[in-house]
C-alpha cells in the first residue's frame, strides 16, 4: 500500500481528500500545517507528498524548499490560484506536478497514479538491471543507482528531474518532442500550453551548470522539444 503525506489546512477538504484516497487503497497521514512535515517524512518515508500552497506558518513553497533537502520522491502541489506564475514557481522550487482548487477527485487520483507509476517503473528496471550507465565526457548517469555525477561530483536531482535527464540522455543529439516528454515523464498529454517540461529542463540546466540564457548542453528546439548535446560535457 502506497503511503501519502497530505498537508492541507482546510479541515473539510483535508478530510475529503484523505477519505477519497483511502477509499482507493492509499495509506494517508494528514496534517493541518507543515510544522511536523519534515520529521514525519524522515520517519515515515512516504511514497508521495501532497502539499497545499496557502498554509498557516510556512507556506507550501517554503516547505517545499526545506523538504527537498531530505526527500527526493514525488511532490504534488495543491493551489487555489491557477495563474502560470504560481504553477511555474512551484515547479521551479521542486514540485513534480500540481492540481488547482476546487479539486476534481478523479483528476487528483490520476495525477497521483501518474507520479507513482514513474517510481514503480524505475524500481522494476533497477531490479531487472537492464539499464546501462550513460557517460558523456565528465557526465555519468547511472539508471540503476539513480545517480548523476558531473566532474566526479554527485548532482542531487528529484525523481522527475532524473527521469527527464535519462530520457534526454538516452537520445543524444536527437530532438525529444514535448508529446513524448509529457506522456513518458509527466503522465499526461501535452495540451500546447503546459510549461511543466520547460520548467524541469530549466532546473536541470541550473544543476548541470548549463548556461541559462544560452544553453549549450540541453538546447530548446522551439516548436519541437529538447536536444541533448552529447559532446558538451567536457
pTM: 0.63
Task: Report residue 64 as a C-alpha cell.
Answer: 517545499
Q: What is the pLDDT of residues 61-88, one digit of tens each?
A: 999 989 988 888 889 999 886 666 667 7
Torsion of CA 61, 21, 119, 98, to 10 degrees: -30
Q: What is the pLDDT of residues 178-198, one digit of tens each?
A: 989 888 887 778 888 888 888
Residues across the chain? 234
Q: Cis before residue 102, ω within 30 degrees of 0?
A: yes
Question: Distances from the Cα of 217 to the Cαs of 193, 197, 226, in angstroms?
Answer: 24, 16, 10
Sheet of strand 133-136, all strands in order from the earlier edge strand to the far edge: 133-136, 139-142, 147-150, 153-154
How far apart, in Å, do the first and last CA atoms of the chain sit? 44
Looking at residue 2, its pLDDT comes to 92
Could you count the other beta carbons within 10 Å of the beta carbon of residue 175?
14
Looking at residue 85, its pLDDT comes to 63
Could you count the other beta carbons within 10 Å of the beta carbon of residue 20?
16
10-residue stretch averages of pLDDT, the chain, 234 residues long: 94 96 96 95 94 93 90 88 69 84 90 81 49 87 89 88 91 90 82 84 93 92 91 90
Kindly list the structural domains of the chain, giving each domain's residue range(s) and its CATH number in brackets, ordered by start.
3-122 (3.40.50.2300), 131-228 (1.10.10.10)
Task: Report residue 18 as a C-alpha cell.
Answer: 484523505
The backbone torsions φ and ψ at residue 48, rounded to the nearest 5 degrees and listed phi first, read -160, 145
How far from the centroid of its chain's Cα atoms is residue 149's Cα? 19
Question: Distances from the Cα of 143 to the Cαs of 19, 45, 122, 148, in angstroms?
Answer: 36, 21, 8, 9
The DSSP-derived string for 131-151 is: --EEEETTEEEETTTTEEEET
Looking at residue 125, its pLDDT comes to 46
Could you count the other beta carbons within 10 Å of the beta carbon of residue 221?
12
DSSP strand pairing (225-228 vs 175-177): antiparallel
Amino acid at each position: 500500500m502506497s503511503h501519502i503525506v497530505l498537508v492541507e489546512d482546510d479541515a473539510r477538504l483535508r478530510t475529503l481528500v484523505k477519505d477519497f484516497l483511502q477509499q482507493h487503497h492509499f495509506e494517508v497521514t494528514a496534517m493541518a500545517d507543515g510544522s511536523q512535515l519534515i520529521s514525519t517524512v524522515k520517519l515515515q518515508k512516504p511514497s508521495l507528498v501532497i502539499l497545499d500552497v496557502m498554509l498557516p506558518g510556512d507556506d507550501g513553497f517554503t516547505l517545499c524548499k526545506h523538504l527537498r533537502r531530505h526527500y527526493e520522491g514525488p511532490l504534488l502541489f495543491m493551489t487555489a490560484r491557477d495563474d502560470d506564475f504560481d504553477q511555474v514557481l512551484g515547479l521551479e522550487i521542486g514540485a513534480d506536478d500540481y492540481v488547482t482548487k476546487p479539486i476534481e477527485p478523479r483528476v487528483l487520483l490520476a495525477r497521483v497514479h501518474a507520479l507513482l507509476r514513474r517510481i514503480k517503473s524505475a524500481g522494476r528496471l533497477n531490479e531487472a538491471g537492464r539499464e546501462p550507465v550513460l557517460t558523456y565526457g565528465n557526465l555519468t548517469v547511472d539508471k540503476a543507482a539513480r545517480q548523476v555525477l558531473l566532474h566526479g561530483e554527485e548532482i542531487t536531482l528529484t525523481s522527475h528531474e532524473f527521469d527527464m535527464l535519462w530520457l534526454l540522455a538516452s537520445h543524444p543529439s536527437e530532438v525529444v518532442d514535448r508529446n513524448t516528454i509529457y506522456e513518458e515523464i509527466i503522465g499526461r498529454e501535452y495540451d500546447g500550453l503546459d510549461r511543466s517540461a520547460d520548467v524541469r529542463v530549466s532546473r536541470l540546466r541550473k544543476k548541470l551548470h548549463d548556461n541559462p540564457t544560452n544553453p549549450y548542453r540541453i538546447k530548446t528546439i522551439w516548436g519541437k522539444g529538447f536536444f541533448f548535446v552529447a559532446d558538451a560535457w567536457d
